[in-house]
Structure 1
């Protein structure tokens, strides 16, 4: 996929309906030869829209006007380029816990959670947050995560978590102001509610920091999984991570995780993991597939806003 196509695809499949600002920006970049030429000097994984837009926001540049953005990127490329080469899109969206909760609550308790691509580990606290599924509330913690559910029953309780750990190539420290600022920069401009819950979730993690291990999702997963308590149900999970992993490593990870004891929860773009024939997703923006042990369970929106049941095959 060319860089121009990548940005146009991001505008129409990801940003539309969710971020008009990023939709305009991505479409403008997709048509700009000068910006595309700069991006094409980077390795393909580093050309992604979320990374460019996040770096510009992190450095204090404008994203609300495509012309001003263009001028800033062309003038500031010497500062932007090294940031894009060294950083990664590590969006740590605690709202995704609202879509994980129905699966986690239904598994044998207590749980030992192991997140792959954990970033700062904010999705490792599904038992500490509060949830609102229409008129059903679960838990009493903060932040309160809203999620619309269709075709399935909201969970009646939060899970019991006795161990939590994360694996990441570059784990972030939620107590480090610079790392927190990077997570803030990755949140889309219009999503102030996500900034508020990022900070609320950060306070939860600061009170009891998770075990975060720097490592590879294939090479280092077995050793970390072996550290989980034997009297707890191991759950290896990931959300919007595998699209960043080259296909051979992705296949190796899937083979590995399916052989581990316990359960595997994936919440990924439908093109990342093959599930055979899937029904059409709900209309609107791009949906992800939430699956348990390789069996599709629900369509979800990327930030945990909604989930729609997928009939069992």
Structure 2
């Protein structure tokens, strides 16, 4: 193992301490236990590094039927059912389809539509089942800030988001006239196993997120978006060309870049910055990623002292504008930063 490579034990310990602590006590306990458990770690280490992600492992155990008990019960189940857990980890990927993330994207989506004077054509990279492609169909409750709801109402409980800083919260929802997504393995909101997998990825204490997921998938089933199977770097430019010419195209993604190697990130960032700079048609790029995923991005690399390390960074055309809760639960707008070339 290279000296800088993170061990599986370190990955699980960091997930417990940074991601789960204070947000999911059960996942904190389970991942802390895994980080010191040679029997579990030795099994995980038989998988390729990209298949040892804590969220993938936890979701697979949930999908197979692990009881929501203490670490001892979790450990016994995983050891007894390891072949089944491993099979899920080998065949599935983490595709959390969290509609709540629309709450942190909405201020930029509304601003872009207003500034361009056009409705939106949305393209999500890493779209999963497509639940984040419907920001105009959900209700929102910002604190402090407005409560927004579609004119026809929404079957999804309001997406709650705590706000700090001078976020450009909209007074109304933008119009979306076209929606599409790219995913290596698009999920089908009508497929029972796909829905069960999405539910398994929701953290156990978050019953409100499970309720929200089921309602959001109902929205998707009623109006299925175009979902393209394949690599984002191969399909993004052709998909942008398919969008209606009378709309402003917004390409967005959440928690996707971590699954690309550096060359893949560089290629995608170069493509998106090129599209955003080409004024023959309006294209905007919204990136919602963990700060450790980003390279050379002003204001994004280190958390503010005392701040949760697990916060995400929201960017618009390569410029960092806010730090956010990873599931859309908060948005902290950043002061304007100087325009600095980004080295990806």
Q: Fold match, TM over 0.5? A: yes
- Quote the Cα distance in structure 1 between the aligned partners of 2:266 and 2:307: 29
- Quote the Cα distance in structure 2 between the aligned partners of 1:60 and 1:90: 19
Deviation at 1:307, TM superposition (A): 0.3
Find the residue that maps to 2:294 and give its secondary structure: coil
The aligned counterpart of 1:255 is 270
* 2:60 aligned with 1:39: no
1:4 pairs, out of 2, 9, 19, with 9
Find the residue that maps to 1:9 and give its secondary structure: helix
1:75 pairs, out of 74, 80, 83, with 80
Deviation at 1:260, TM superposition (A): 1.7
- Quote the Cα distance in structure 1 between the aligned partners of 2:307 and 2:299: 18
The aligned counterpart of 1:233 is 248
Ranges in structure 1 where 5+ consecutive residues have no aligned partner: none
- Quote the Cα distance in structure 2 between the aligned partners of 1:172 and 1:203: 14
* 2:231 aligned with 1:216: yes
The aligned counterpart of 2:28 is 23
- Quote the Cα distance in structure 1 between the aligned partners of 2:170 and 2:13: 38
- Quote the Cα distance in structure 2 between the aligned partners of 1:214 and 1:153: 34
* 2:116 aligned with 1:106: no
2:299–2:320 contact (8 Å) kept in structure 1: no
Find the residue that maps to 2:328 and give its secondary structure: coil
Question: What is the CA deviation profile of residues 240-273 of structure 1, one whole-angstrom value per residue up to 9, with x for unaligned ones?
Answer: 1111111211111111111125100000001112
Ranges in structure 2 where 5+ consecutive residues have no aligned partner: 1-5, 277-282, 338-344
Find the residue that maps to 1:90 and give its secondary structure: coil
Structure 1 residues 95, 119: CA separation in 2 closer, same or farther (over 3 Å shift)? same
The aligned counterpart of 1:124 is 133
The aligned counterpart of 1:264 is 285
1:7–1:30 contact (8 Å) kept in structure 2: yes
2:207 pairs, out of 183, 192, 196, with 192
Deviates more, 1:76-85 or 1:87-96: 76-85
Find the residue that maps to 1:165 and give its secondary structure: strand
- Quote the Cα distance in structure 2 between the aligned partners of 1:142 and 1:63: 29
TM-score by length of 1: 0.97
The aligned counterpart of 1:276 is 298
The aligned counterpart of 1:147 is 161
Deviation at 1:223, TM superposition (A): 1.3
Deviation at 1:285, TM superposition (A): 5.4
Deviation at 1:208, TM superposition (A): 0.3
Question: What is the CA deviation profile of residues 7-65 of structure 1, one whole-angstrom value per residue up to 9, with x for unaligned ones?
Answer: 00101111111101001110100000111000000010100111111111111112431
After the TM superposition, list the runs of 4 or more consecutive aligned residues in structure 1 that deviate by more than 6 angstroms.
Answer: none
Question: What is the CA deviation profile of residues 156-200 of structure 1, one whole-angstrom value per residue up to 9, with x for unaligned ones?
Answer: 111111110000000000011111110000000000000110011
Structure 1 residues 280, 74: CA separation in 2 closer, same or farther (over 3 Å shift)? closer
The aligned counterpart of 1:206 is 221
* 2:188 aligned with 1:173: yes
The aligned counterpart of 2:279 is none
2:323–2:334 contact (8 Å) kept in structure 1: yes
1:299–1:310 contact (8 Å) kept in structure 2: yes
The aligned counterpart of 1:137 is 147
- Quote the Cα distance in structure 2 between the aligned partners of 1:142 and 1:154: 22
Find the residue that maps to 2:293 and give its secondary structure: coil
* 2:328 aligned with 1:304: yes
Find the residue that maps to 2:136 and give its secondary structure: coil
- Quote the Cα distance in structure 2 between the aligned partners of 1:276 and 1:80: 40
- Quote the Cα distance in structure 1 between the aligned partners of 2:237 and 2:146: 38
1:289 pairs, out of 282, 299, 313, with 313
The aligned counterpart of 2:100 is 95
